[in-house]
Amino acid sequence: ILNVEQSPQSLHVQEGDSTNFTCSFPSSNFYALHWYRWETAKSPEALFVMTLNGDEKKKGRISATLNTKEGYSYLYIKGSQPEDSATYLCASLGQAGTALIFGKGTTLSVSS
């Protein structure tokens, strides 16, 4: 089973701070890396799907980078807002035809 690791497990920042999280995955047989945002009492919502080494994706204040050779992805949030409070999940698919393996997530709490 593919092992996807996320760090930190949780963090707490003040409104306006910028922050970043890490997702690590095996670099062999890489196909895709997904980032999801999961608010309490809601269902996970997709942020990015990244497939190419060096990929950078951006949605508003949130961006992500991908390094498939060393097996990591970073998710950045610029100027955190209380509404950014959520659990951020990454998931990887190591072989075509199999399903996503999710990390345990990073839970972000933003105080105003």
The residue ranges that bind another protein (CB under 8 A) are: 1, 31-32, 34, 42-46, 49, 51, 89, 91, 93, 96-97, 99-105
The CB-of-26 to another protein minimum distance in angstroms stands at: 14
Half-sphere exposure of 111 (CA within 13 A, CB side): 4
What tokens does 22 get? Answer: 């890490």
Q: What is the dihedral of CA 57, 95, 23, 42, to 10 degrees?
A: 80
* C-beta closer to another protein: residue 60 or 96: 96
* C-beta closer to another protein: residue 1 or 83: 1
* C-beta closer to another protein: residue 15 or 56: 56
The CB-of-112 to another protein minimum distance in angstroms stands at: 27
Phi-psi label, residue 51: left if phi above 0, alpha if psi -120 to 50, beta otherwise: alpha
* C-beta closer to another protein: residue 99 or 112: 99
The CB-of-96 to another protein minimum distance in angstroms stands at: 6
Q: Exposed (0-12), middle (13-18) or buried (19+): which is 32, by Cβ within 10 Å?
A: middle
